[in-house]
Amino acid sequence: MREIIHLQTAARETLVDITGQVQAVVSTSGVRNGLVSVYAQGATAAIMIQENWDESVQTDVVNFLRKLIPNGVWLHDAQDGNGDAHLKSGLVGPSETIPLIDGELGLSRWQNVFFCEFDGPRKDRRVVCTVLADD
């Protein structure tokens, strides 16, 4: 089963918690045990599994990537000013695969799934969720 999650982002760089939407796709699928692939469409976005309890962790991720990959110093900036966004999304990666255990995401208590926006704000970001059963 495959379903697309549609998102709007409000900032140039932000992590958006999509755990609930991914779990809803899994629940709709009826798959109890297997895998769910979560894939960010777009060359300036990514998917990350990260701490869910303290929002400062998400802020730290954004700040770390800003320091590691600053805006405005890359060759691609001459085209559309978002060279850093491409590098950040490539570093983090476009997807995560999560085990399904008894119909639930196999995340630990402190993990959630985040859509990483590096070139926002955007009106229609898409995340492809593909659910695969063990059977």
Q: Are strands 45-51 and 104-105 parallel, antiparallel or unpaired?
A: unpaired
Nearest CA to 46 among 72, 69, 76? Answer: 69
pLDDT, tens digit, for every residue of 48-93? 999 988 889 999 999 999 999 999 999 898 999 999 999 999 999 9
Per-domain boundaries in the chain: 2-133
pLDDT, tens digit, for every residue of 5-44? 999 999 999 999 999 999 999 999 999 999 999 999 999 9
* CATH number 2.60.120.460 is the correct assignment for the domain at 2-133: yes
Q: Specify the pLDDT at position 48.
A: 98
DSSP state of 18: -
Q: Are 34 and 76 in contact (CB under 8 A)?
A: no
Is the per-residue pLDDT at 105 higher than 90?
A: yes
Whole-model pTM?
0.96
- The residues with which 41 forms a beta bridge, in sequence order, are 126
Mean pLDDT of 85-112: 97
Q: Specify the pLDDT at position 135.
A: 74
